[in-house]
Amino acid sequence: MYTQGVLAKLFLTLPQRRPKIFFGWYIVAASVGMNFYLSLAFFQGFQIFFLPIVNEFGWSRTLTSGAFALRQLETGVMAPAVGFLVDRWGPRTIILGGVIVGGTGMLLLSAISSAWMFYLAFAIISFGVSGASHGIAWPAVIVKWFHRMRGRALGLAMLGPVVAGPFLILVQLLEEALGWRLAIFVLGVGLWVLGIPLALLARPHPEVYGLLADGEPVAAAKPPVQGKAHEERRDRQDLPGLTVAEAVRTRAFWALVAVFGIHGLGVSGVMVHQVPLFQSVGFSPREASIGLGLVFFLSGIGRLSAGVLMDLIDQRLVLTGALVAQALSFLLLAYLTEWWQVIPFALLFGIAFGSTIPARPILMGRIFGQRAFGALQGLVQGAAVATGVLGPLIMGLAFDLTGTYAPANFFFAVLTLAAAPLALLVPSSQASA
């Protein structure tokens, strides 16, 4: 301990040279890499395994969708806990643990022989990826490393699924070559191999490295307190913003819960059934995978533009526009019959869905500050994901009863359009308790 203290003091007396590349951008890149792989292996890519599993076991789409609904329920329930744990233990610990648990769940999933095993393995994977994904932990890191460029940094950090979009066809080819069981096993091992090193890059805040947010050097840095524990758990009283108790008493908090809760219902349904839907209207498995990849590739426009636009104009207008576009995309999906129609659907749905990804952490950071960012982000995400439990079930039930997904898409369109005015209730500046 004494030696560490001497070395820390010596380090701070040496001339500090500003790095050519701010370390915060390495964290942004790590977020992209982690969520690129999670998108391929689970969030989007798992749609490719939906029908092979249904066909092998003879399950209905409603029953199979129940596991995805369980994923929504578990990640919704876990989101507040993940947020609190991120604030308490630091994001790096949560991301690393999530990678290990998620990979273990995928290996278990590759060996299932019954519905209850399918549900259990899916629950374990969901438990893990709720900590490793960019829903809570990665934004909690990035808001501490960026202030002036926070919107752009968050928009870039959430491009993992966009980069993954064109590569989703590789998951389809992997399934065709190896079968769904061995393909999932390989993807689970890959999560460990790639995810563990990336998780270790999630450093909690820049002051430990003699920097301020956006890479500005600290004029007179304080000696770092000895030990890793302090690096991971900085005194939250020094951070600006509201506590959880103060935030939940504001209109802004409940407006965000309502907007993202309603929005999550339709999005979750489409995220599970998009590939089966494309195949139900006559597309081949490869064409369906390409269509899915196109959606997530085009979502990059929304992820980037929302971050930039929210730095420049009223954030409420950006969120309202995204909800209206989302509703229109559901209408297009209800009438989808030809391949060319995938392009306008993918453009609208991709941009709208992509815009809401960075919008939530941007709004949370600007309205409530950093003091309880992880916990509040988890609470709002938990509400959004919890409502999304019904989305996959509604889609599966609609198809089982009518042979088409159109009724569910009409319902989602009306509901999402009704949520658009709620976005205007979100304040444009920091709320007061």
Asked if the structure places residue 298 within a domain, the reply is yes
Question: Per the domain annotation, does 207 fall within a domain?
Answer: yes
Instruction: Give the count of domains, the chain.
Output: 1
- Nearest CA to 374 out of 384, 364, 363 is that of 364
Q: What pLDDT shows up at residue 15?
A: 44
The CATH code of the domain that includes 186 is 1.20.1250.20
Question: Alpha helix locations (H) across 212-284?
Answer: 228-232, 244-247, 251-280
* pLDDT for res 227: 46
| Amino acid present at 71 | R
- Whole-number pLDDT of residue 371: 66
Cα–Cα distance measured from residue 258 to residue 364, given in angstroms and rounded to the nearest whole number: 14
pLDDT of residue 195: 92
Residues 6+ apart with CB under 8 A from 399: 61, 273, 276, 280, 405, 408
pLDDT of residue 10: 40
- What is the reported pLDDT for 225? 44
Residue 10 located in a structural domain: no
Q: In this structure, is residue 432 part of a structural domain? A: no
The verdict on residue 5 lying in a domain is no
Full-model pTM: 0.66
In a domain, residue 117? The reply is yes
Q: How many Å apart are CA 98 and CA 82, to the nearest integer?
A: 10
Please, which residues bridge with residue 217 across strands? 211
Residue 3 belongs to a domain = no
Angle between helices 137-145 and 150-157 (to 10 degrees): 150
Q: What is the DSSP string of 334-385?
A: HT--SGGGHHHHHHHHHHHHHHHHHHHHHHHHHHHBSTTHHHHHHHHHHHHH
What is the structure's pLDDT at 239? 57
pLDDT of the residue at 261: 82
- DSSP state, residue 92: H
Burial (CB count <10 Å: 0-12, 13-18, 19+), residue 247: buried
Report DSSP state, residue 41. I
Name the nearest CA neighbour of 143 among 99, 91, 94: 91
Provide the residue-wise pLDDT of the chain in tens; the chain has 433 residues. 444 344 334 434 434 455 677 888 889 999 999 999 998 898 888 888 988 998 899 888 888 877 776 666 555 556 566 666 776 777 888 899 999 999 999 999 999 999 899 989 988 998 888 888 867 788 778 878 887 777 778 778 877 877 887 888 899 899 999 999 999 999 999 999 999 999 998 887 777 667 777 666 655 444 444 444 444 444 445 556 667 777 777 888 888 888 888 888 888 888 878 888 898 888 888 888 888 888 878 877 877 777 677 767 777 788 888 899 999 999 999 998 888 888 899 889 988 888 887 777 777 777 777 666 667 776 777 666 667 778 888 888 898 899 899 999 999 999 999 888 888 877 765 554 4
Token pair in block for residue 258: 């309502």
Q: What is the DSSP string of 274-286?
A: HHHHHHHTT--HH
Residue 315, domain member (yes or no) = yes
- The domain containing residue 253 runs over which residues? 21-425
Tokens of 128: 């893990």
